[in-house]
Structure 1
Amino acid sequence: MAAIDHLEAEAFSALGERPIVWIDLADAGAPARARALSRDTTAIVGGIDRAGAVPVVEPDAFDLLLTTRPAAPAPWVTVRDPLAAAQAIAAAVARAPIAAAAAARVLRIGAGLPFGDALQLESFAYSTLLGGAAFRAWRAAQPDRAMPVAAGPPLAVARDGDVVTITLARPESRNGICAGMRDALHEALCAALDDPSSPCVVLRGEGACFSTGGVLAEFGTATDLAQADAVRMLRSCALRLHELGDRATAMLHGACIGSGIEIPAAAAHRFAAPGSFFQLPELGIGLMPGAGGTVSVARAIGRHRTGYMLLSGRRIPRDVAAGWGLVAA
């Protein structure tokens, strides 16, 4: 396929008519078209394999790949109906094209960066989207929400020999991760990192689930987005878990949504109980993951499958997540 000129390329962008382009991989010209779109535009490029043939492709030319092949190998995502899945994703992208495009670009660029640098890239993009029209519209449509009233500390920390167990302890709010819980978790992880005895760390959640992610009442309350970016990086729980290396284990159960999977995905060892599921729903409110998910999740399952989670917002059950490498049973 011929190169796409600069003016034409704008049509294939978050500001144009085609922020996402789906390519039928049965077409003879599919590889060349994918290469041109990936090279010359900022469009999100998706591939569809309706026959379940799982053809050889250049993964770098795509942002996500859908197939009907059961238990398809990475980077493919198995879906029952690729066309229906593609249409649903295209509709989600159309509702928040700038956030979708930012997430896809962050995944692409971040894949080649060290863990901490990739987190900084995510944080910059997240802070930008907090000032975007899609997120403002979501905020304006929300009822006034009061912060949950907590009866006790957000965490329980216990040590048994060489193992420190950190438990999210707000089961009444499904362990929603507010700024206070994040700060407490960051402090506990720093204590383990700085402990000269180098203890192992086990991260758990109390109650019905590990965590349903960020507390919605806090979303958009930051008035200084530059300062919020600085705080997000200085108190990154995902980064601290990553720094613990082989000493960090996450024990997951129930709902693991948004930051409720972005943070524990940075642990070297991740185990999930039956009935667990995982979800990155941020695009639905005009945002992208901001607690490390474009790095932690992507390094566990690859950027293509992370892109699917991001753009579809679908729940990923434990058996699929285990097959992808996000968790072990």
Structure 2
Amino acid sequence: MTSPLVGRTADSAPLPVPALSVSELALRAAARDPELVAPGAHVLVELIPDENSDRDTVDHDLPFITFVRESRAPAGRHIRGRAADNAFPCADLVVPDALLPDVIRGVRSNPEASLVLAQLMRATHSVPIPDAIRAESLAYSLLQTGSEFTRWLADQPARTPGVDVEPTVLVHQGAQASEIQLNRPSSANAVNTRMRTELVGILSALALTTGPLELTGNGRHFCAGGDLREFGMAPYPLGAHVERISQNVPGCVARVAGRLTARVHGACVGAGMEIASFAGHVTAAPDTSWRLPEVSMGLLPGCGGTVSIPRRIGRQRTLLMAVTGMTIDAAAALEWGLIDEVSE
């Protein structure tokens, strides 16, 4: 290994990260060099661009995450939308230098969740959406059995799921479009089991209609993600996978995506970001912010986000958001292609 890259943990301990040229990585990976590909040998490997930097992902099964520092990017390679991945298709991440310590900390804190997410998006970025959603659900269930999620869950206070008195999803028939409104404002429209069931029923019915649809959120926030009070409540992960696929919210949203506009505001976090990103058109209020917290919980986005978000901003930026937990604002979301318009 050459050119070790050093990051720092919270206690300032050095974290060497091996660095290889793209050509050397390809050769050593093809030869299954045990120093490189042995399980647990590395969590991150920096790629040094060379004449082979435009090649496809070196190996979908590499047991570590590869990244290129943004400062090494040739001029003109900062691209909007999913096409951004084409600048360095062989890398899982293109990392702004200022965020490199956050990437190292995030991946090393939850290496299993980080790696499974990277491998999943390597494999599913070009497969049909229904297949990609099923693969995501299986990966999510796998991580529910892992030590990282178990550790996160053990640190949570005792929780009791809330009881909703009002419908969690409302439908308003407007002159121009049918509005689907998330309606748990006191919980920042966090998605719980009841909301998921109601969304599936409503979206399945609307899929049989024609005409434009709008997705909105009641209250100060569009959606703050999954309801944390229900995390870890499933009796066993395989059953949770079967339930997610039978109550397939992302699949239902994807079926009407071509005529769906998502209008987001406030917090658009986790599941909220994942669902909205399926929409054919996304508008955001200037105060909107986006974040993917799942990796910090030992999980990965599990409401279609490994499918919808990479198809908008590319898998590299999706992974960057997920492993750092960074928050982006409306200006960055528009620049990246996560949204199509900023509107009051």
On whether the aligned pair clears a TM of 0.5, the verdict is yes
Alignment of 1:283 onto 2:295 = yes
Map residues 60-139 of structure 1 onto 2, 5 A cutoff. Answer: 60-66=89-95, 79=96, 82=97, 84-139=98-153
Counterpart check, 1:23 vs 2:47: yes
Residue 263 (structure 1) aligned with residue 275 (structure 2): yes
Retained in 2: the 8 A contact 1:37–1:43? no
In structure 1, how many angstroms separate the alpha carbons of the residues matched to 2:143 and 2:59? 23
Name the counterpart of 2:34.
8
- Give the corresponding residue for 1:254: 266
- Deviation larger for 266-275 or 236-245: 236-245
Distance 2:267 2:221 in 1: 5
SS of the residue corresponding to residue 271 of structure 1 reads: strand
Q: Structure 2: which 5+ residue stretches go unaligned?
A: 1-23, 78-85
Q: How far, CA to CA, are the matches of 1:55 and 1:161 in structure 2?
A: 44
CA contact (8 A) 2:60 2:122 kept: no
Partners of 1:39 and 1:275 in 2: CA distance: 38
Pick from 201, 209, 226 the counterpart of residue 187 of structure 1. 201
1:167 pairs, out of 163, 181, 195, with 181
Q: 1:187 to 1:36 in 2, by over 3 A?
A: closer
1:44 maps to what in 2? 65
Pick which of 141-150 and 213-222 moved more. Answer: 141-150
**Is residue 217 of structure 2 the alignment partner of residue 205 of structure 1?**
yes
The Cα shift of 1:226 comes to 1.6
CA distance in 2, matches of 1:36, 1:322: 27
**Higher deviation after alignment, 159-168 or 267-276:** 159-168
Distance apart, 1:175 and its partner CA: 0.6
- 1: distance between equivalents of 2:193 and 2:172? 22
Q: Partner letter of residue 179 of structure 2?
A: T
Q: Deviations over 1:94-120 (max 9, x none)?
A: 111111110001111111210110111
Q: CA deviation at 1:263?
A: 0.8
Aligned to 1:320: 332
Partner AA of 2:291 in structure 1: Q
Q: Aligned equivalents of 1:39 and 1:171: distance in 2?
A: 41
The match for 1:142 is 156
Deviation, 1:313, is 1.2
Deviations 1:43-86 (A, max 9, x none): 211001326644878632101113xxxxxxxxxxxx4xx1x412
**TM-superposed deviation, 1:37:** 6.1
Displacement of 1:187 in angstroms is 0.9
Aligned mates of 1:200, 1:324 — CA distance in 2: 25
The more displaced of 110-119 and 140-149 is 140-149
Distance 1:24 1:7 in 2: 18
Q: Distance in 2 between matches of 1:36 and 1:159?
A: 46
Alignment pair present for 1:301 and 2:318: no
SS at match of 2:197: helix
Contact 1:24–1:49 at 8 Å: present in 2 too?
Answer: no
Letter in 2 for 1:6: R
Which AA in structure 2 matches 1:21?
V
- Cα 1:36–1:122 shift into 2, 3 Å: closer
- Which stretches in structure 1 are left out of the alignment for 5+ residues? 67-78
The alignment-based identity, stated in percent, is: 31
Asked if the contact 1:146–1:217 (Cα under 8 Å) also holds between the matched residues in 2, the reply is yes
- Which range moves more in the overlay, 217-226 or 51-60? 51-60
Q: CA RMSD in A?
A: 2.3
Counterpart CA distance in 2 for 1:124 and 1:251 is 30
The two structures have a TM-score, normalised by structure 1, of 0.86
Report what 1:272 is aligned to. 284
> Counterpart of 2:127 in 1: which secondary structure?
coil
Report the residue type matching 1:292 in the other structure: G
SS state at 2:256 partner: helix
